[in-house]
Structure 1
Amino acid sequence: MTIQGASPDLYNEDLAPATVRNWGPFSIFNVWTSDVHSLWGYYLAASLFLFCGGFVNFIIAIGIGSLIIYFLMNLVGYAGVKTGVPYPVLARASFGIWGANIPALVRAVVACFWYGAQTAAASGAIVALLTRLQWFDEFNRTSHLLGHSTLEVICFVVIWALQLLIIQKGMETVRRFQDWAGPAVWVMMLILAIYLCVKSGTFAFTSDIPMDVLLDKTKDAGVPGEPGSWTALFAVAAIWVTYFSALYLN
């Protein structure tokens, strides 16, 4: 869509209503799974498991949080799907033409944080993989740059640049990459799950972690109630909702 005589401060190709929509159910599904099955997602899930005290309680707590997220995501995404207009433009209805820059900048700051956080996590995983080899391990321990090992800096810059390269190609390139990466994450997740089961020698839906151990590990977390209690489960659900709050801005 082209609007004649529009102010360049208020209108450009990125702000115009979408004319082509290629993000089908499969692509949207991959957005969701890529957010859940990430390094930070695993970190969070592993820590929240202690508050739940068992697998069933964990599923209940995460299920409650996911239902809330599902409702909120559909609520905030309705207008964009209906009109094809991006978030910064929709915000003008509430904040005004220039005031809409404030929520847009807030979202940008959150995006910058996650860009850095995910880059750090991904580069850390690459470093952990490379240091399994003796040469890289020695290089990682002996060479330093900017307060970090040189290998860490190199991996961070490479991952940062690769992400930037994909983003600069446009959202269609992001969609295509994600449609490939999403299923790949699932495959690797299943391989990892099978490996962990084989490594542990068992598979069970119950937890044998003693309550005194759970209490000791969670005593300073500030979550009310004992692990496995309803107050703890609702706290876990609330944390899960908060973790995905960045998606509400997108």
Structure 2
Amino acid sequence: MESKGNYLKSPDLLPVTHAKRVISPFGFSVIWVGMAIVLAAFAIGGGGIVHLPLPYVILATLVGSVAIGIFMTLIGDIGVEHGISFPVYMRAPFGTIGTHFPSVMRAFTAACWFGINSYFGSTAINGILNLLFGFDNWILCFIIFVTLQLINTSLGIKSIERFADLAAPIIILISCWMYITLADNATAQGKDVWSWVESPVTGAAGFTAFMIVVMANMGFWATLAADMPSLSRFFKAPKNERNWFKRNKTQLLGSLVVMPITNTFMVAIGAICYMAVSTADPITALQSSANGIVLGVLLLMIVLAQWSTNTSANVIPAATVFSNVGGPKVPFWVGVIITGIIGTIVQPWSLFDILNSVLLIIGGILTAIVGILFADYYLIRKRRVNVDALYELEGQFKYFKGFNFAGLIAWAIGGGVANMFPTYSSLIGFFLGAAVYYVLAKYWWFVKYPQKEINNPSDELYLGITAGNDWEIDKKVYQEPEPNLESETLDPPVVQKQ
């Protein structure tokens, strides 16, 4: 008999039924535009243009974006098919307790992005104050801006959220203006934007530079590749549709068309930004390209855009994880403070300058998780999942005291080896993580801990909408569980955005 405190059955973690799936292909495309309009992507373009001309930077970005988009779509089928989120399915390859480890990694990454976005916002605030009063102390602006965002999130203040829907179009307009202005500036300096390179390389060195841009783009979106089921469970999809492509048409349009185009646009702006002002920092570029009231308005829009997206996309997901890891002694507001501390001590003002190198590391670690999910879902379970057991404290996914060591070992090996070869980190992480997990799970772990859907691969019992099933989990045993690190909202869609 399960305890009445079974946190695995928290209402926000239950499967989304077919009737509640409201996001259409067009709707997801709009969401992707909002997610992919990220100023931090400028760093990839700025790093790439050092050794490669703009056409190669664009090509590498498209290759990396489509590759990670394929990973997203493959893993997103978990949400489409079964209506379950990333942390819930992770109980299968990692165990009911082991699922916490990748969630903490995701939270740490969100805290780092919070720091980077806060850095942009603080330098914009500093620029505004410098225009108005001659004030110049961006560090003080950073401390104040971080504090205001944390207070905003801790107290649940909603007033600033009215700007959230404006964030993406604001940055699109700013980016278009920057492209035109900065391209003119570069041309005025005698630089052809389509052929200029700071330190051109060829041969093997050129291929390495190309692959670094590819891997940086994959690392940039690796978190969402793993976390896509948390969003895709809200996608409209036809019941009893066995064709994988027709079932996932919402994902295919958004992740393989809209995201690559939008992401490539942002990276290209970063490259041209570097050409014109020798840095990919968007605030520095604005300050060197505009002045007076125009500059003040542009900087203010940057501040509002960073604030509106940072709160919901980075602070809340990270704080929720940290709060739940600590249990009842760590309330949500403490999780918010922890997020702020991490976002500050990683020194985001320095992190932006080495972002490409950091993304190679992140890509290897997170795509190893994606590879494990792929192997578990497609190769071992063949898309059939004992969903009821995912919500049982003493069910088949408890494994050894809540841990699936096949998943943990595969993650350690996949992520570790990937970072020995950073030029190919995301690809190595995915394929090695998948291969190691497949061998360990199939020939060792699941021999010790039999899985019903593997031993009896019944479509009727273990497929979701492909077989016309909606998973209904018995909620009677649930009573205000203590916080757990897998909590997330069922209000579609809160997405972790960089």
Question: Shared fold (TM-score greater than 0.5)?
Answer: yes
Match of 2:182 among 182, 196, 206: 196
1:166-186 deviation line (CA, Å, top 9, x unaligned): 9887xxx98x96544222321
Please say if residues 60 and 211 of structure 2, whose CA atoms lie closer than 8 Å, have aligned partners that are also in contact: yes
Instruction: For 1:166 and 1:42, locate their aligned partners in 2 and report how far apart those are by CA, in whole Å.
Output: 32
1:47 corresponds in structure 2 to 47
Larger radius of gyration: 2
Task: Please give the per-residue CA displacement for 1:39-72, whole angstroms capped at 9, x wherever unaligned.
Answer: 32112211112232x1211121111111111101
Provide the C-alpha distance between the structure 1 equivalents of 2:193 and 2:109, rounded to a whole number of angstroms.
Answer: 36
Give distance in 1, aligned partners of 2:43 and 2:80. Answer: 32
Change (3 A) 1:49 1:167: farther
Amino acid corresponding to residue 221 of structure 2 in structure 1: F
Supply the distance in 2 between the matched residues of 1:13 and 1:72 (Cα, whole angstroms): 28
For 2:219, the equivalent position in structure 1 comes to 242
Displacement after TM superposition at 1:156 (Å)? 2.6
Q: Are 1:11 and 2:9 counterparts?
A: yes
Q: Secondary structure at the match of 2:131?
A: coil
Per-residue Cα deviation, 1:127-148 (whole angstroms, up to 9, x for no partner): 23332333433xx3xxxxxxx7
Whole-Å separation in 1 of the counterparts to 2:33 and 2:45: 14
**What is the aligned partner in structure 1 of residue 59 from structure 2?**
60
Counterparts of 1:151 and 1:180, CA distance in 2: 23
User: Aligned AA for 2:42?
Assistant: Y
Which amino acid is the alignment partner of residue 29 of structure 2? F
Which residue does the alignment assign to 1:144? Answer: none
**How many angstroms apart in 2 are the aligned matches of 1:189 and 1:104?**
33
Q: How far off its partner does 1:214 sit? A: 0.5
Q: Are 1:107 and 2:106 counterparts?
A: yes
8 A contact 2:183–2:193 mirrored in 1? no
**Paired residue for 2:143?**
153
Partners of 1:167 and 1:204 lie apart in 2 by 49
Contiguous gaps of at least 5 residues in structure 2: 228-498
Partner of 1:206: 194
User: Match for residue 375 of structure 2?
Assistant: none
The alignment status of 1:181 with 2:167, answered yes or no, reads: yes
Is the contact between residue 123 and residue 159 of structure 1 (CA under 8 Å) also seen in structure 2? no
CA 1:92–1:6: 2 relative to 1, 3 Å? farther
Equivalent residue for 1:126?
A: 125
Partner of 2:361: none
For the 8 Å contact 1:16–1:85, the answer to whether it is kept is yes
Q: Which amino acid aligns with 2:210?
A: L
In structure 2, the partner of 1:145 is none
| Partner amino acid, structure 1, of 2:62 | G
CA distance in 2, matches of 1:179, 1:166: 21
Distance 1:161 1:247, change over 3 A: farther
Provide closer, same or farther for how the CA distance between residues 243 and 51 of structure 1 changes in structure 2, counting only shifts above 3 A. Answer: farther
What residue identity is the alignment partner of 2:195?
S
Cα distance in 2 for residues equivalent to 1:160 and 1:235:
34
- Say whether the 8 Å CA contact 1:49–1:58 is kept in structure 2: yes
C-alpha offsets along residues 65-124 of structure 1, whole Å, 9 cap, x if unaligned? 111111011112110122221111111122222222222222222222222332233323
What's the counterpart of residue 75 of structure 1? 74
- Give 2:288's aligned residue: none
Q: Is the 8 A contact 1:57 1:233 kept in 2?
A: yes
Conserved? CA contact 2:64–2:215, under 8 Å: yes
Secondary structure, in 3 states, of the residue corresponding to 2:8?
A: coil
TM-score by length of structure 1 reads 0.72
Can you give the 5+ residue segments of structure 1 that lack an aligned partner in the other structure?
141-147, 219-223
Partner of 2:86: 87
* Aligned partner of residue 18 in structure 1, secondary structure: coil
Residues in 1 aligned to 2:165 and 2:24: alpha-carbon distance in whole angstroms: 10
Contact 2:187 2:193 in 1 (8 A): no
TM-score (norm 2): 0.39
Question: 1:37 corresponds to which letter in structure 2?
Answer: I
Number of the residue aligned with 1:97: 96
Q: Is contact 1:51–1:236 with CA below 8 Å preserved after alignment?
A: no
CA contact (8 A) 1:17 1:85 kept: yes
8 Å contact 2:118–2:145 — kept in the other structure?
Answer: no
Q: Distance in 2 between matches of 1:179 and 1:82?
A: 29
Cα 1:156–1:99 shift into 2, 3 Å: closer
Runs of 4+ residues deviating >6 angstroms: 165-169
Alignment partners' CA distance in 1, 2:132 and 2:121: 18
Partner of 1:221: none
